[in-house]
Amino acid sequence: MRAHLPHRDQRDADEPTTPREPRQPLQGPAVRLTVHLGESDQFHHRPLYAEIVHRAHHAGLAGASVFRGIEGFGAGSVIHTSRLLDLAEDLPVAVVIIDSEERARGFLPQLREMAPDALITMEHVEAVALAAPETADSVARAPEEGTR
């Protein structure tokens, strides 16, 4: 089953109505921010994970994804699992954001505002961007043509 983002009327009125301009692919040193939440966490009557993704998009960050866990526990030491129907209400969720360290650190105040009690981790990573489709095709043919 595929999760759907809230409809336009469920979002804040100040969100842009058109998609932002695409960015150049992120390459080289980058940072991965991971926000650990519960699926039922809310921010102004809206799923917290959705609010984080939309704010990251609005801030122009390179990318954000939400991952739903099947089992886990947090500071409260209560295990939440999809195996037991009564505990499947608040499964673990991780929101992963990738961008440069400067842009990621600039987004931290918004994360703290929305999720003051959430565990947020930051890891240094290397972004390896794939070539654009037309470039990838020509690169794939180049070695073959050079061997003739």
pLDDT digits (tens, 9 = 90+) for 71-82: 877 777 676 777
Q: What is the pLDDT of residue 3?
A: 46
In a domain, residue 139? The reply is: yes
Find where tokens 């109505």 sit: 17
Nearest to 117 by CA among 51, 50, 54, 35: 35
In a domain, residue 14? The reply is: no
Q: For residues 35 and 124, what is the distance between their CA atoms, to the nearest angstrom? A: 15
Q: Structural domain of residue 53, as residue ranges?
A: 25-146
Find where tokens 């061997």 sit: 147
Domains of the chain: total: 1
In a domain, residue 76? The reply is: yes
Q: pTM to 2 decimals?
A: 0.71
Q: What is the CATH number of the domain that holds 55?
A: 3.30.70.120
Tell whether the model's pLDDT for residue 104 goes beyond 90.
yes
In a domain, residue 3? The reply is: no
